[in-house]
Structure 1
Amino acid sequence: MHACAKAADNNIKLTLTEAISMARKKSVDAVVARGVLKSAYWAYRTYQADLLPELSFDGTAPQFNKSYSSYQQNDGSYKFIRNNWFGMNGALNVNQNIWLTGGQLSLSTSLDYIKGDGMKNFMSVPISLTLNQPIFGVNNTKWNRRIEPLKYNEAKAAFVTATEEVTMKTIQYFFNLLLARENVNIAKQNLQNAKRLFDIADERKKMGQVSESDLLRLKLSAINAQSTLTDNESSLNSNMFQLKTFLNINDSTPIDLVIPEKLPEVSIRYADVLDKALENNSFALNIRRRQLESDYAVAKAKGNLRSIKLTASVGYSGISNDRIRYAYDDLKNNTIISIGFSVPILDWGKRRGEVKVAESNREVTESKLRQEQQTFNQDIFLLVEHFNNQSKQLKLATEADSIAQRRYKTSIETFMIGKINTLDLNDAQVNKDDARQKDIAQLFYYWYYYYQLRSLTLWDFAKNKGIDADFDEIIKQ
């Protein structure tokens, strides 16, 4: 069941507001926008999970070995001995990234069991603590804490913008169909008038009041009107199909559009629009994210110049025993301590070259960002000018349409009494058709510019509040 009503002639009666609502829920573009948002949400959730402790269990159960292996004897010679044993092992690990230092702390405990040739043994490592810590290197976790939330906020703003862009596309399809319908009505009216005028002229020619040339011109006008009507009906069907496809309407019933009459009466200043756009638009968040990412790349390259990787482990090992409870005895005499490090010494300028590359890339990025910012500001300025001017253009177009309609009606009446010729009549018809089409076009531009401003600023100027979305509910869909 569609959200729109059905007219008395069983056509689907559709307003612009209803079309926008349907497009935001059912159009393919809206579905794609929701999919992109969900992808960004789960990427953000993955980042958040990376900050929390990770628990894992590793094990082998069972492991059976019945084979030969080489064995070195006391005199240095080798011989093959037969293996015949059954074993199991398991280890429980907890890993935690340390965002303050950029290191990782790991806590583990393990137990091994082996059985063979009438004997069995347990071996335990009750606790082992390991720290992997880069010294002087970049803190990746700290940088991610700055970049990842910004990326998700950018994705949310981009979703709202995409929703407004769906609205703009709906407006375009809606007015394309509306104009096609008006063109059909115009063509029908012109054909009807052309036939009536030809019949009248034909009678007047018999009385010698109309020339053969004027009569033929009227006949040609009727033929052209019929051809124009056929083309316009085909265009109407095409635009009808396009709008239905976009709104995901499977009903074969024709759509009867309602011309929007109530317009949002708003006064918009460039400074206000620019402030809202820089505050809310995903472009502004994109600028900040790309700047951070270029800074991160430079910091990472500089950190690698003098990076020292430190690994420290401390823990206890149990003793090997044929009973599991004794495998945890005498821990103080089985201590595990190790400290390791990795220091770069000579790389033939590779790391310094990576710093230069990162710095050059940052300069290029900053130049692009400045250029994009200037273009963004200029586009907003032009859009505000277009919108503020459009209200006047629409009023003028509506007035011109009314005058052209009255002139055409008067021209027909004047022609019928023989006071103007067919050229003047055709001129009045052309002006009448052009004025009607321009009136529809100016109404389209008013709505299109208005929603384009909403899309850039994520601000509802009519209600004077921000445009938001229930992201939690959208993610659940």
Structure 2
Amino acid sequence: MRKKKLLSVVLALLFPAMLFAQKEREITLAEAINLARIQSVDAAVALNELKTSYWEYRTFRADLLPEVNFAGTLPNYNKSYSPYQNADGEYGFVRSNLLGLTGQLSVDQSIWLTGGKLSLNSSLDYIRQLGTNKNRHFMSVPISLQLTQPIFGVNNMKWNRRIEPVRYAEAKAAFISATEEVTLKSITYFFQLLLAKEVLGTARQNETNAERLYEVAGAKRKMGQISENELLQLKLASLNARAAATEAASNLNAKMFQLRAFLGIANDETLQPILPESAPDLRMVYQTVLEKALERNSFAQNIRRRQLEADYAVAKAKGNLRSIDLFASIGYTGQDREFSAAYNNLLDNQIVKVGVKIPILDWGKRRGKVRVANSNRDVVLSTLRQEQLNFNQDIFLLVEHFNNQAQQLSIAREADEIAQQRYKTSIETFLIGKINTLDLNDAQNSKDQARQKRISELFNYWSYYYQIRSLTLWDFGRNEELEADFEAIVNN
């Protein structure tokens, strides 16, 4: 008994706190959009994709700059036996017991125009023989210049300089488009919650009205003014209204959870979406929208990149028909038992190599690869032409839908006002016995549909508007481009 009383006291103390734990928060469409761009998971994914593209581009830019490298073996200890052939042809084994150190410092620079590589090197080798004969030797290469140059092969550096800036421009445009797509998603969830809220409000009002009408009908039935069938119809309408209100409340909770999760809002807040009163009075021109989209959308950069990559594949296939590599090295070298003397009395150190690989008979394999690359390029170009046509068509349809939507929204708003007034009038008329339950139900359904239609048309307006923004990366309300400080965004 004491435990039950204690539990009752605790529940009595906690129950009011539980009631007030849910905090109500009004939220406008603009606030939902701003929160989505900052806190949503989709926005974080778009940011991470931008960072990946940014560092890939930075890596490409770094490949164009000189690179300083150090390579060394510190140390190399060798105590082993190795085979050795004497002058008379007899083999034996010789014992090695030495300590070696090597180090090389190089400055490497890729040559953009030719695709070769130029290296400036300086190296030092040291060998110390261990055991009874403790000799040591130094060999220095104070400076040497090396050139590695493929001839007739594809210049990868040249093609990367063409493709990578386009790829990064595509990534930047895609990030802004992704931000607008986050906006579109937040608009969808916002209006779904708004519609669920309106449906619940309507359902509860309908439930109240149905109960009231049933009570009035009960009194009228006692006076013989209505039939038993009409009374049962109103009873059934009251039950249906109660069921609809319960279902609408459940749907509202689901839509609220969805929006809260997307915006990153705590679950202890009850969102109250505010219906936007108006929409900007804009009219789009197809040609203007198309020009902005072709100029700024990531699709335009995507087309250019894929064209370049197809051309690059053809160039690589042609370059593989024959391969000639040139290697040249010029410098000075010295060697002595003393470190300082190894840098005196330097001698020329020159190496020139020309490697050739030309297929004599490969049964047309390489030329077949060239034809495959050409065919793939033709397929890519045909695909791009079709995608371009589809892109233009989508732009045209979006502009048409948007321009028509303003009128649809105006009609839906006026129809909503009329339907609301008709329903009020129908209730008053029913109470005085001038209309039957069928007419009343029709007025109620018309009222509910008109309100939902108004919200749906308002959603369609904003959806079309932000879809056009996403494709053009242009703010038509302010007549300015959508831009971002990518350096600050990535390094934040």
Q: With structure 1 as the length reference, what TM-score do the two structures score?
A: 0.96
Q: What residue number does 1:38 align with? A: 51
Q: Which moved more, 1:131-140 or 1:183-192?
A: 131-140
Q: What residue number does 2:221 align with? A: 205
CA contact (8 A) 2:324 2:354 kept: no
CA contact (8 A) 1:315 1:337 kept: no
CA contact (8 A) 1:51 1:99 kept: yes
Q: Residue deviations 1:356-391, cap 9 Å, x none?
A: 010000010011101100100000100000000000
Q: CA–CA distance in 2 between the matches of 1:37 and 1:335? A: 49
Q: What residue number does 1:196 align with? A: 212
Q: What residue number does 2:329 align with? A: 313
How has the CA–CA distance of structure 1 residues 68 and 10 changed in structure 2, closer, same or farther, with 3 Å as cutoff?
Answer: closer
Q: What residue number does 1:161 align with? A: 177
> Does residue 345 of the first structure (1) align with residue 344 of the second (2)?
no
Tell me the CA shift for residue 315 of structure 1. Answer: 2.0
CA contact (8 A) 1:412 1:425 kept: yes
Tell me the CA shift for residue 137 of structure 1. Answer: 2.1
CA contact (8 A) 2:257 2:267 kept: no
Q: CA–CA distance in 2 between the matches of 1:79 and 1:136? A: 48
- Residue 26 (structure 2) aligned to one of 13, 27, 36: 13
Q: CA–CA distance in 2 between the matches of 1:36 and 1:383? A: 27
Give the secondary structure class of the aligned counterpart of 1:366.
helix
Q: CA–CA distance in 2 between the matches of 1:137 and 1:326? A: 44
- Mapping of 1:197-276 within 5 angstroms? 197-276=213-292
Q: Residue deviations 1:47-76, cap 9 Å, x none?
A: 001111111111111121122222211211
Q: What residue number does 1:420 align with? A: 435
Q: CA–CA distance in 1 between the matches of 2:433 and 2:262? A: 51
Give the secondary structure class of the aligned counterpart of 1:463.
coil
Q: With structure 2 as the length reference, what TM-score do the two structures score?
A: 0.93
Q: What residue number does 2:452 align with? A: 437
Give the secondary structure class of the aligned counterpart of 1:305.
coil
CA contact (8 A) 1:20 1:170 kept: yes
Give the secondary structure class of the aligned counterpart of 1:75.
coil
Q: CA–CA distance in 2 between the matches of 1:458 and 1:420? A: 55
Tell me the CA shift for residue 251 of structure 1. Answer: 4.2
Q: What residue number does 2:9 align with? A: none
> Does residue 51 of the first structure (1) align with residue 70 of the second (2)?
no
CA contact (8 A) 2:108 2:119 kept: yes
Q: What residue number does 2:349 align with? A: 335
Give the secondary structure class of the aligned counterpart of 1:181.
helix
Q: What residue number does 1:3 align with? A: none
Q: CA–CA distance in 1 between the matches of 2:87 and 2:150? A: 44
Unaligned runs of at least 5 residues, structure 2: 1-21
Q: Structure 1 vs Structure 2: percent identity of aligned residues?
A: 60
Q: Residue deviations 1:126-146, cap 9 Å, x none?
A: 222221112222211111111
Q: Residue deviations 1:251-298, cap 9 Å, x none?
A: 412011111113122121100000000000001110111011111111
| Aligned-CA RMSD value | 1.2
- Mapping of 1:92-103 within 5 angstroms? 92-103=105-116
Q: CA–CA distance in 2 between the matches of 1:335 and 1:95? A: 19
- Residue 145 (structure 2) aligned to one of 119, 129, 138: 129
Tell me the CA shift for residue 10 of structure 1. Answer: 4.5
Tell me the CA shift for residue 45 of structure 1. Answer: 0.4
Q: What residue number does 1:82 align with? A: 95
Q: CA–CA distance in 2 between the matches of 1:370 and 1:69? A: 67
Tell me the CA shift for residue 208 of structure 1. Answer: 0.6
> Does residue 386 of the first structure (1) align with residue 419 of the second (2)?
no
Q: CA–CA distance in 2 between the matches of 1:262 and 1:401? A: 15
Tell me the CA shift for residue 412 of structure 1. Answer: 0.6
List structure 1 runs of 4+ shifted beyond 3 angstroms.
none
Q: CA–CA distance in 2 between the matches of 1:10 and 1:157? A: 39
Q: CA–CA distance in 2 between the matches of 1:389 and 1:157? A: 28
> Does residue 142 of the first structure (1) align with residue 155 of the second (2)?
no
Q: CA–CA distance in 1 between the matches of 2:479 and 2:349? A: 69
Q: CA–CA distance in 2 between the matches of 1:25 and 1:337? A: 60
Q: CA–CA distance in 1 between the matches of 2:427 and 2:80? A: 109
Q: CA–CA distance in 2 between the matches of 1:54 and 1:22? A: 44
- Residue 363 (structure 1) aligned to one of 378, 389, 401: 378
Give the secondary structure class of the aligned counterpart of 1:317.
strand
Q: CA–CA distance in 1 between the matches of 2:81 and 2:142? A: 32
Q: What residue number does 2:306 align with? A: 290
Letter in 2 for 1:60: T
CA contact (8 A) 1:317 1:336 kept: no
Q: What residue number does 1:6 align with? A: none
Q: What residue number does 2:480 align with? A: 465
Q: Which moved more, 1:181-190 or 1:337-346?
A: 337-346
Letter in 2 for 1:372: E
Q: What residue number does 2:466 align with? A: 451
Give the secondary structure class of the aligned counterpart of 2:185.
helix
Q: CA–CA distance in 2 between the matches of 1:476 and 1:153? A: 18
